[in-house]
Amino acid sequence: MQLALVLDPAKCTSCKQCEMACAYENEQTFNPAKSRIRIFDFHEDGRFVPYTCTQCDEAWCQQACPVNAITTDPATGVKLVHDNLCVGCKVCTIACPFGTVNYNAATGKVIKCDLCMGDPACAKACPTGAITYSDVEQAGFDKMRAWAAKTDSGAQAT
């Protein structure tokens, strides 16, 4: 069973607890700017969307790295940045189509979500369940079930 972060924007209130927990876990500071997860704010609609690295199967960041500083953990599928190999060229930040690989000016290295090595602080800190750490395949099933429940009630009304 492979676990992943499952993000549910409908439950996000933009409380920023995930950003604070991530920043503290990884940088020992309560500074959302240093978080590896972000909340995108759609002001006009009053909606918030958490986003972070999706741990792509064919990770463009990993393929673009000229020094092979990004590897895949075979057990979890997590793409890991090795600080001892990273030269801070930022090619991976350009290659990531989602903008979830970032440059840390304080260290001169790149940072991205590593799922806190299997115990994501963001998921533990989320008070609404907008961020959970669960079975990837089960998460897809739950979304299909929710959609089916919506369409089923509409079909019975006719």
For 65-101, what is each residue's pLDDT tens digit?
Answer: 999 999 999 988 999 999 999 999 999 999 999 999 9
pLDDT at residue 12 is higher than 60:
yes
Is the same domain home to 67 and 92? yes
How far is Cα 129 from Cα 20, in angstroms, rounded to an integer?
16
Per-residue pLDDT tens over the stretch 112-132: 999 999 999 999 999 999 999
Q: What is the largest CA-CA distance in the chain?
A: 63
Is the same domain home to 71 and 32? no
Is the same domain home to 62 and 44? no
User: What is the extent of the structural domain holding 130?
Assistant: 1-52+121-158
Is the same domain home to 9 and 48? yes
What distances in angstroms separate CA 20 from CA 8, 15, 17, 44, 135, one per listed residue? 18, 10, 5, 24, 24
Is the same domain home to 4 and 43? yes
Is the same domain home to 24 and 69? no
pLDDT at residue 154 is higher than 60:
no
Is the same domain home to 1 and 47? yes
How far is Cα 16 from Cα 38, in angstroms, rounded to an integer?
8
Is the same domain home to 132 and 103? no
Is the same domain home to 132 and 106? no
CATH number at residue 21: 3.30.70.20
Domain count, the chain: 2
